[in-house]
Chains A and B, each alone.
Chain A
Amino acid sequence: MRVLESWVSGPLSRFLDESAARLVLLMTSSGQVVAQHGFTRSVDVMSAAALGAGIMASTGELAHLMGSPRFGALVHQGTEQGLMLSGFETPRGRWIGLVAFGPESSVGIVQLFFQQFTDEIAAAAPPEEPRGPVLAENFEHELNASLRALFGR
């Protein structure tokens, strides 16, 4: 399990424990990863987050277009594993959860404990602290070296 901010880990590990989910990805509604469990490569995590946020955003627009309220959750039940995508409000803005689960769990169990998880997240979120400078003033040198290496120049 990897989390961006430590207060997410308590609720998330309880959710994993209760739901027996295989993969969990939490992201902001713009597709930035907040926490994950079960993925290996961070770049795969980012792709999954981009797609998950895209799906939620587009179905949200679709609902809007059809004059219906926003979808609470989207569920895909495959033969080997199921997927659930669900948006929820937090004091840090709207987040999205992507959960993959196998036959050892079920949609019902995942939804039941996801609800509990989102309640806990809403209660646990501390106020956001203003952010000071992160990078050193002369970061350009390192950036250029990184980019040159990346492009083989």
Chain B
Amino acid sequence: MSGADHALRRVSAVRGVRGAMLVSAPDGLVISESSMEDVDGRAIAALAASLAGRLRRAAASAGLGRPTVIQLRGETGTLLAVPAGDELLVVAVGDRETNLGLARLELLEAARGIA
């Protein structure tokens, strides 16, 4: 098992997380994914990368430097995305019960390992 797969498995193991994936940021495609339940992995990759791209440009124009963690919270779940270098994103989707603090730490850890 590759390092990336191992890292994704650790993210997926966090309570409430429905799945995790590694995404190519410029083209919004799945590189590798772990136990993605009930969600179209391709949609997650495309939408997360698009959102991350827009926020990266906005953060740069605000003088905030590069984004390190992105969290989109909805009524019933959360999308988390952490850039790993310029080209990759580690992404997780969790339900309402997700331990977001732990998921965030695992994603940061995974990104450090992959970048």
29 contacts between A and B (CB under 8 A): A103-B26, A105-B50, A106-B26, A106-B27, A106-B28, A106-B46, A106-B49, A106-B50, A106-B53, A107-B27, A107-B28, A107-B29, A108-B23, A108-B29, A108-B42, A108-B45, A108-B49, A108-B50, A109-B28, A109-B46, A109-B47, A109-B49, A109-B50, A111-B42, A111-B46, A112-B28, A112-B43, A112-B46, A112-B47
A81 cross-chain contacts in B, Cβ below 8 A: none
Per the bound structure, the CA–CA distance linking A103 and B42 in Å amounts to 18
A108 cross-chain contacts in B, Cβ below 8 A: 23, 27-29, 42, 45-46, 49-50
B42 cross-chain contacts in A, Cβ below 8 A: 108, 111-112
For chain B, the count of residues having a C-beta within 8 Å of the partner chain is: 13
Residues of A within 8 A of B (CB): 77, 82, 103, 105-109, 111-112
Identify which of residues 18-61 in chain B touch chain A, using a CB-to-CB cut-off of 8 Å: 23, 26-29, 42-43, 45-47, 49-50, 53
The distance from the CB of B2 to the nearest CB of chain A, in whole angstroms, is 22
Per the bound structure, the CA–CA distance linking A112 and B40 in Å amounts to 10
Per the bound structure, the CA–CA distance linking A82 and B28 in Å amounts to 13
Contact A77 B47 (CB under 8 A): no
The distance from the CB of B37 to the nearest CB of chain A, in whole angstroms, is 19
The distance from the CB of A72 to the nearest CB of chain B, in whole angstroms, is 12
Chain A residue, CB-CB nearest to B50:
A109
Per the bound structure, the CA–CA distance linking A103 and B53 in Å amounts to 10
Most buried by B among A77, A82, A108, A112: A108
The distance from the CB of A128 to the nearest CB of chain B, in whole angstroms, is 32
Chain A residue, CB-CB nearest to B29:
A108
A105 cross-chain contacts in B, Cβ below 8 A: 50
Per the bound structure, the CA–CA distance linking A103 and B49 in Å amounts to 12
Chain B residue, CB-CB nearest to A115:
B42
A109 cross-chain contacts in B, Cβ below 8 A: 28, 46-47, 49-50
B43 cross-chain contacts in A, Cβ below 8 A: 112
Most buried by A among B27, B45, B47, B50: B27
The distance from the CB of B78 to the nearest CB of chain A, in whole angstroms, is 20
